[in-house]
């Protein structure tokens, strides 16, 4: 994207896109299992989160318990996101079962 500054200088602003995969409560609150976001580059997982939360405020209460992954690998919010990456949002998970032999 090209912009002109107030001094008539041409300023190049790089943008990038990422696909966000939404699971469980995220999917329910957004109404989709995937969304594409466009961000200023470079971007982090936190930048992706902020964009999604701004567009769908109903996800904001899930933030304290959310796990993230970038391209299939768990990631922290400060981790870089490359152009074209897949970022997944996971709500808290529960589950697991006692073994069939009665152990826990």
Q: What percent of the chain has pLDDT over 90?
A: 74
Handedness of CA 61, 34, 48, 80 (dihedral sign): positive
Is the predicted pLDDT of residue 20 greater than 90, yes or no? yes
Which band of pLDDT confidence, cut at 50, 70 and 90, is reported for residue 36? very high
CB crowding 26-61: b at 16 or more within 10 Å, else e: beebbeeeebebebeeebbbebbbebbeeebeebee
């Amino acid at each position: 994207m090209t912009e002109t500054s107030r001094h008539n200088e041409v300023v190049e602003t790089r943008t990038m896109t990422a696909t966000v995969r939404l699971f469980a409560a995220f999917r329910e609150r957004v109404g989709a299992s995937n969304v594409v976001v466009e961000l200023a580059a470079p971007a982090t997982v936190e930048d992706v989160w902020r964009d999604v939360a701004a567009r769908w405020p109903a996800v904001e209460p899930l933030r304290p318990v959310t796990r993230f992954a970038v391209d299939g690998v768990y990631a922290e919010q400060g981790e870089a996101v490359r152009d074209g990456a897949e970022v997944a949002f996971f709500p808290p998970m529960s589950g697991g079962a006692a073994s069939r032999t009665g152990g826990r």
